[in-house]
């Protein structure tokens, strides 16, 4: 599956952005999806993931309560709504997909995902 991420940009602290990731492929809706981010000079870190059924979601401690992951399988798109953004959220955000999980399971580590989007930059200024 091929992934196209969009929605990044610059925002002030406390603001909101919504990222989108559209998957192409005949079975794109049957992929569990995730969002990761990689600040400059640091390792890629998990942000949020959602099962391909949409029934199960998981977010990292650092963004829980501020970020919400969702998906629209009719559009083959997963979203990351980011509210109350902080300067430490500044990063390149990547979406990822895996087709190897059952409908209601999520993955949280990069090695569990087999397809990656190109990344979209989010910059939060204080």
Alpha-helical runs (H) found in the chain: none
- How confident is residue 5, by pLDDT bands cut at 50, 70 and 90? very high
Q: How do residues 40-96 score in pLDDT, each as one tens digit?
A: 999 999 999 999 999 999 999 999 999 999 999 999 999 999 999 999 999 999 999
């Amino acid at each position: 599956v091929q992934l196209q991420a969009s929605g990044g940009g610059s925002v002030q602290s406390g603001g909101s952005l919504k990222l989108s990731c559209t998957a192409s492929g005949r079975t794109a809706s049957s992929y569990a999806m995730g969002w990761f981010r990689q600040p400059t000079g640091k390792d890629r870190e998990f942000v949020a993931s959602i099962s391909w059924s949409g029934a199960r979601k998981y977010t990292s401690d650092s963004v829980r309560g501020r970020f919400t992951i969702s998906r629209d399988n009719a559009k083959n798109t997963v979203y990351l709504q980011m509210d109350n953004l902080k300067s430490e959220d500044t990063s390149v955000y990547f979406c990822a997909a895996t087709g190897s999980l059952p409908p209601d399971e999520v993955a949280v580590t990069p090695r569990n995902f087999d397809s990656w989007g190109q990344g979209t930059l989010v910059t939060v200024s204080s």
